[in-house]
Chain A
Amino acid sequence: MKNEWPLWEIFIRGQHGMSHRHVGSLHAPDAEMAIKNARDVYTRRNEGVSIWVVEANHISASSPSDKGPLYEPSESKVYRHPTFFDIPEEVGAM
């Protein structure tokens, strides 16, 4: 529909979260209203302390058809994961 408001992607940083996480999307006429709508749609139950909004068409995404070339090469290379080290107990939780 031509008159529909643009779509915004909403990112919220939770009470104890270090980074903003994508929580969903909504429609709004501009960025300020998108923040207000996000406040009403996504933070009603004390979910967040900070809101980012990004107009969806400003997000560039990888193409699903590129999945093979992009991700497969890393699947067979277990040595890229640091899982072969014995961690001394005194180090504690990592």
Chain B
Amino acid sequence: MTREEAFTQFLLRMGDNTLILGHRVSEWCGHAPVLEEDIALANTALDLIGQTQMWLGLAGEVQGEGKSADDLAFLRDAWDFRNVLLCEVPNGDFGRTLMRQFLFDAWHSIQLGRLMKSSDERVAAIAEKASKEVAYHLERSADTVVGLGDGTEESRRRMQEALDYLWPYVGEMFQSDDVDAEMVKAGIAPDPASLREEYDALISRILGDATLTIPESRFAHKGGRTGAMHTEHLGHLLTQMQWLQRAYPGAKW
């Protein structure tokens, strides 16, 4: 694997995370429990899709096959996606959506903090821009997790169920492979495993405030960030997200 190939994979991982999660969150548009949350979720989705444009735009550039961010988003099949499985699992109820958001935001904010010191200045610039948005996402999702976790009997039960369901998807964010080793060597990105300690400290504090119990198991589903095996949910998501470009190739806004 060349440096460029590894770099492209890394950028696809960043961009596919934000693309797929952004699409998932956008599914709430018009359906959220209250108007204010509806708008907030749509804003989060838009932020994530904006970040996707930057990551996938750079991925296309580094890849050097003349592909645009749109080509990468709309013309790849499920096995070409490199997002972690956490981003593609269905929304479930509002509590599960916000729990997923929190578990991702916590990782995302730490990752972007490290990427701001990347040896590649394009990566550092994207991270710098995205980190301000993500700091807000994290503040909001953490507050909501605490509010619902330390809330009514029903909201607490739902948040604990959400955490139990999503927990096996957390570990994948910290798995390292050859791509990561190459990125570490080039000083472009940190070793994912090196984020775990900071992550655990952050989520333990918030989930503690939320009176929720972190499951003991460290079992982790995997296969998303390597593309080896996505969940069955990703294909369904892509049929929604990609149908227009598939049915009307090259259609412009």
Spell out A's residues near B (CB within 8 Å): 5, 26-29, 32-33, 36-37, 39-41, 44
Contact (Cβ within 8 A) B140 A36:
yes
Contact (Cβ within 8 A) A36 B143:
yes
Most buried by A among B34, B36, B136: B36
Within the complex, what minimum Cβ distance (angstroms) separates A32 from chain B?
7
Say yes or no for B139: interface residue by CB 8 A criterion. Answer: yes
Contact of A40 among B39, B143, B147 (CB under 8 A): B39
> Which residue of B is nearest A3, CB measured?
B152
CA distance A36 to B147 in the complex (A): 14
Contacts of B35 in A (CB 8 A): 26-27
Contacts of A44 in B (CB 8 A): 43
A33-B147 CB under 8 A given contacts A5-B34, A27-B34: yes
Say yes or no for B40: interface residue by CB 8 A criterion. Answer: yes
Contact (Cβ within 8 A) A26 B143:
no
Contacts of B140 in A (CB 8 A): 36
Most buried by B among A5, A26, A27, A37: A37
Within the complex, what minimum Cβ distance (angstroms) separates A80 from chain B?
43
Contact (Cβ within 8 A) A26 B147:
no
